[in-house]
Amino acid sequence: MVLKKRTAIFISGNGSNMKNLVKFSKKKNAPIKVDFVISSNKKSKSIQFLKKNKIYYKIFDFKRKNKDEKKIFEILKKRETQLICLAGFMKILSESFIKRFKGKILNIHPSLLPKYKGLNTHERAIFNKEKFSGCTVHFVNSKLDSGKIIIQKRVKINKKDDPKSLSKKILKQEHLLYPKALKKILSRT
Ligand code: GRF
Protein backbone atom coordinates (compact mmCIF):
# COMPACT_ATOMS: atom_id res chain seq x y z
CA MET A 1 0.00 0.00 0.00
CA VAL A 2 1.20 3.51 -0.82
CA LEU A 3 1.51 5.90 2.11
CA LYS A 4 0.05 9.07 0.70
CA LYS A 5 1.65 12.37 1.74
CA ARG A 6 -0.76 14.88 3.17
CA THR A 7 -0.57 17.64 0.60
CA ALA A 8 -1.65 21.26 0.44
CA ILE A 9 -2.05 23.02 -2.90
CA PHE A 10 -1.72 26.79 -3.28
CA ILE A 11 -3.49 28.42 -6.23
CA SER A 12 -4.38 31.87 -7.54
CA GLY A 13 -6.15 31.52 -10.84
CA ASN A 14 -7.97 28.91 -12.84
CA GLY A 15 -6.67 26.04 -10.80
CA SER A 16 -6.49 23.53 -13.63
CA ASN A 17 -3.26 22.07 -12.23
CA MET A 18 -4.89 21.78 -8.82
CA LYS A 19 -7.92 20.00 -10.25
CA ASN A 20 -5.63 17.67 -12.13
CA LEU A 21 -3.64 16.89 -8.98
CA VAL A 22 -6.85 16.18 -7.07
CA LYS A 23 -7.89 13.77 -9.81
CA PHE A 24 -4.45 12.16 -9.78
CA SER A 25 -4.41 11.87 -5.97
CA LYS A 26 -7.51 9.71 -6.07
CA LYS A 27 -5.68 6.98 -7.95
CA LYS A 28 -4.72 4.02 -5.82
CA ASN A 29 -1.00 4.35 -6.36
CA ALA A 30 -0.74 8.14 -6.24
CA PRO A 31 1.77 9.23 -3.59
CA ILE A 32 -0.29 12.21 -2.39
CA LYS A 33 -3.59 12.95 -0.72
CA VAL A 34 -4.88 16.47 -1.30
CA ASP A 35 -5.90 17.61 2.13
CA PHE A 36 -6.10 21.36 1.87
CA VAL A 37 -6.18 24.11 -0.75
CA ILE A 38 -5.30 27.76 -0.36
CA SER A 39 -6.44 30.27 -2.91
CA SER A 40 -5.09 33.80 -2.97
CA ASN A 41 -8.07 34.75 -5.08
CA LYS A 42 -11.60 34.53 -3.81
CA LYS A 43 -12.89 34.69 -7.36
CA SER A 44 -11.00 31.62 -8.45
CA LYS A 45 -13.15 29.43 -10.64
CA SER A 46 -12.00 26.50 -8.56
CA ILE A 47 -13.98 27.30 -5.44
CA GLN A 48 -17.04 25.45 -6.76
CA PHE A 49 -14.88 22.46 -7.56
CA LEU A 50 -13.46 22.44 -4.04
CA LYS A 51 -16.90 22.61 -2.50
CA LYS A 52 -18.18 19.84 -4.70
CA ASN A 53 -15.23 17.61 -3.91
CA LYS A 54 -15.46 18.42 -0.19
CA ILE A 55 -11.89 19.62 -0.04
CA TYR A 56 -11.03 21.88 2.87
CA TYR A 57 -9.99 25.28 1.54
CA LYS A 58 -9.21 28.78 2.74
CA ILE A 59 -8.80 32.09 1.00
CA PHE A 60 -5.92 34.40 1.87
CA ASP A 61 -5.36 37.46 -0.26
CA PHE A 62 -1.80 37.96 1.04
CA LYS A 63 -2.36 41.70 1.42
CA ARG A 64 -0.95 41.29 4.92
CA LYS A 65 1.54 38.65 4.00
CA ASN A 66 3.13 38.09 7.42
CA LYS A 67 -0.19 37.72 9.12
CA ASP A 68 -1.58 35.42 6.42
CA GLU A 69 1.53 33.26 6.36
CA LYS A 70 1.35 32.85 10.14
CA LYS A 71 -2.26 31.71 9.89
CA ILE A 72 -1.43 29.38 7.02
CA PHE A 73 1.47 27.93 8.96
CA GLU A 74 -0.80 27.17 11.91
CA ILE A 75 -3.28 25.38 9.66
CA LEU A 76 -0.56 23.39 7.96
CA LYS A 77 0.85 22.38 11.34
CA LYS A 78 -2.54 21.34 12.62
CA ARG A 79 -3.32 19.33 9.52
CA GLU A 80 0.14 17.75 9.58
CA THR A 81 0.84 18.81 6.02
CA GLN A 82 3.80 16.97 4.56
CA LEU A 83 4.02 18.57 1.14
CA ILE A 84 3.01 21.84 -0.51
CA CYS A 85 2.38 22.06 -4.25
CA LEU A 86 2.27 25.54 -5.70
CA ALA A 87 0.10 25.42 -8.83
CA GLY A 88 -0.43 28.69 -10.62
CA PHE A 89 0.16 30.44 -7.29
CA MET A 90 1.02 34.05 -8.07
CA LYS A 91 2.24 35.23 -4.65
CA ILE A 92 5.80 35.13 -3.43
CA LEU A 93 6.23 33.27 -0.15
CA SER A 94 8.59 34.73 2.44
CA GLU A 95 12.02 33.26 3.05
CA SER A 96 11.08 32.21 6.57
CA PHE A 97 7.97 30.38 5.37
CA ILE A 98 9.99 28.55 2.73
CA LYS A 99 12.67 27.65 5.29
CA ARG A 100 10.09 26.10 7.57
CA PHE A 101 9.09 23.72 4.79
CA LYS A 102 12.54 23.24 3.33
CA GLY A 103 12.53 20.63 0.58
CA LYS A 104 8.79 20.20 0.87
CA ILE A 105 7.50 22.91 -1.45
CA LEU A 106 7.19 22.27 -5.18
CA ASN A 107 6.23 24.61 -7.98
CA ILE A 108 5.33 24.25 -11.63
CA HIS A 109 6.56 26.90 -14.02
CA PRO A 110 5.62 27.30 -17.70
CA SER A 111 9.11 27.50 -19.19
CA LEU A 112 12.27 25.45 -19.47
CA LEU A 113 13.97 26.85 -16.40
CA PRO A 114 16.46 28.44 -15.86
CA LYS A 115 15.15 30.24 -18.94
CA TYR A 116 12.28 32.70 -18.52
CA LYS A 117 11.80 32.92 -14.80
CA GLY A 118 8.94 35.08 -13.63
CA LEU A 119 5.98 36.30 -15.65
CA ASN A 120 5.06 36.46 -19.35
CA THR A 121 7.15 33.44 -20.20
CA HIS A 122 5.31 32.61 -23.45
CA GLU A 123 5.50 36.16 -24.78
CA ARG A 124 9.22 36.31 -24.12
CA ALA A 125 9.95 32.87 -25.60
CA ILE A 126 8.08 33.76 -28.81
CA PHE A 127 9.66 37.22 -28.99
CA ASN A 128 13.11 35.62 -28.75
CA LYS A 129 12.20 33.20 -31.55
CA GLU A 130 12.89 30.16 -29.37
CA LYS A 131 12.27 26.85 -31.12
CA PHE A 132 11.18 25.19 -27.88
CA SER A 133 9.65 26.12 -24.59
CA GLY A 134 8.06 23.84 -22.04
CA CYS A 135 7.43 23.40 -18.36
CA THR A 136 9.39 22.61 -15.24
CA VAL A 137 8.56 21.21 -11.82
CA HIS A 138 11.09 22.32 -9.24
CA PHE A 139 11.68 22.61 -5.52
CA VAL A 140 11.04 26.08 -4.15
CA ASN A 141 13.85 28.02 -2.54
CA SER A 142 14.01 31.68 -1.58
CA LYS A 143 14.92 32.85 -5.09
CA LEU A 144 12.13 33.10 -7.66
CA ASP A 145 11.84 30.01 -9.89
CA SER A 146 15.37 28.97 -8.97
CA GLY A 147 15.15 25.85 -6.82
CA LYS A 148 16.43 22.42 -7.84
CA ILE A 149 14.76 21.12 -10.98
CA ILE A 150 12.88 17.84 -10.60
CA ILE A 151 11.62 17.27 -14.14
CA GLN A 152 11.02 19.17 -17.39
CA LYS A 153 9.06 18.68 -20.59
CA ARG A 154 9.97 20.32 -23.86
CA VAL A 155 7.23 21.72 -26.11
CA LYS A 156 7.83 22.81 -29.70
CA ILE A 157 7.00 26.38 -30.63
CA ASN A 158 5.50 26.54 -34.11
CA LYS A 159 5.72 29.56 -36.37
CA LYS A 160 1.99 30.08 -35.98
CA ASP A 161 2.02 29.97 -32.18
CA ASP A 162 1.00 33.01 -30.20
CA PRO A 163 1.20 33.27 -26.39
CA LYS A 164 -2.31 31.90 -26.07
CA SER A 165 -1.83 28.81 -28.22
CA LEU A 166 1.57 28.14 -26.67
CA SER A 167 0.19 28.46 -23.15
CA LYS A 168 -2.56 25.99 -24.01
CA LYS A 169 -0.07 23.46 -25.37
CA ILE A 170 2.21 23.85 -22.37
CA LEU A 171 -0.62 23.64 -19.85
CA LYS A 172 -1.59 20.28 -21.29
CA GLN A 173 1.95 19.05 -20.64
CA GLU A 174 1.92 20.59 -17.14
CA HIS A 175 -0.99 18.34 -16.29
CA LEU A 176 1.12 15.30 -17.17
CA LEU A 177 4.32 16.60 -15.65
CA TYR A 178 3.22 17.46 -12.10
CA PRO A 179 2.02 13.92 -11.29
CA LYS A 180 5.20 12.54 -12.87
CA ALA A 181 7.34 14.81 -10.68
CA LEU A 182 5.49 13.69 -7.56
CA LYS A 183 5.98 10.05 -8.43
CA LYS A 184 9.66 10.74 -9.10
CA ILE A 185 10.38 12.34 -5.74
CA LEU A 186 8.01 10.33 -3.57
CA SER A 187 8.24 6.81 -4.87
CA ARG A 188 11.38 6.12 -2.83
CA THR A 189 10.30 7.74 0.46
C1 GRF B 1 0.15 27.54 -15.41
O2 GRF B 1 0.77 27.66 -16.67
C3 GRF B 1 1.17 27.62 -14.34
O4 GRF B 1 2.38 26.97 -14.64
C5 GRF B 1 1.40 29.10 -14.29
O6 GRF B 1 0.11 29.65 -14.40
C7 GRF B 1 -0.72 28.78 -15.13
C8 GRF B 1 -1.89 28.54 -14.26
O9 GRF B 1 -2.60 27.43 -14.52
N10 GRF B 1 2.18 29.52 -13.19
P11 GRF B 1 -3.72 26.85 -13.58
O12 GRF B 1 -4.18 27.91 -12.59
O13 GRF B 1 -3.17 25.66 -12.88
O14 GRF B 1 -4.84 26.50 -14.52
User: What tens digit of pLDDT does each residue of 99-135 get?
Assistant: 999 999 999 999 999 999 999 999 999 999 999 999 9
Which atom of ligand 1 approaches the CA of 90 most closely?
Answer: 10
118 Rama sector, left if φ>0, alpha if ψ -120 to 50, beta otherwise: left
Confidence of residue 2 (pLDDT cuts 50, 70, 90): confident
- Per the DSSP assignment, residues forming a β-bridge with 38 are 10, 58
Is the CB of residue 180 less than 8 Å from the CB of residue 151?
Answer: yes
152 Cα: distance to centroid of ligand 1 (angstroms): 15
3-state DSSP percent of the chain in helix, strand and coil, to 5: 35, 25, 40
Please confirm, yes or no, whether 122 is among the known catalytic residues. no
Q: What is the mean pLDDT of the chain?
A: 96
CATH superfamily of 5-186: Formyl transferase, N-terminal domain (3.40.50.170)
Which atom of ligand 1 approaches the CA of 11 most closely?
Answer: 12
Give backbone dihedrals phi and psi of 186, rounded to 5 degrees, phi first. Answer: -105, -10
Query: In the prediction, which pLDDT does 44 show?
Result: 77
pTM for this one? 0.96
Q: Considering just the CA atoms, what is the radius of gyration of the chain in Å?
A: 16
Nearest CA to ligand 1 atom 7: 88
- Residue 154 burial (CB count, 10 A): 11
Query: In the prediction, which pLDDT does 1 show?
Result: 66
Name which of 139, 123, 116, 153 is nearest 186 in CA terms: 139
Reported residue count of the chain is 189
152 Rama sector, left if φ>0, alpha if ψ -120 to 50, beta otherwise: beta
Query: What does the pLDDT average to over 51-68?
Result: 96
Residues with CB under 6 A from ligand 1: 11, 13-17, 87-88, 108-110, 171, 174
Sign, CA dihedral 177-179-182-188, equals: negative
Boundaries of every domain in the chain: 5-186
Query: In the prediction, which pLDDT does 188 show?
Result: 57
Report the residue among 45, 174, 177 best suited for mutation to probe ligand 1: largest number of ligand atoms under 8 A from its CB: 174
11 Cα: distance to centroid of ligand 1 (angstroms): 9
Torsion on CA atoms 155, 160, 162, 168, rounded to nearest 10: -50
90 Cα: distance to centroid of ligand 1 (angstroms): 9
Query: What does the pLDDT average to over 125-152?
Result: 97
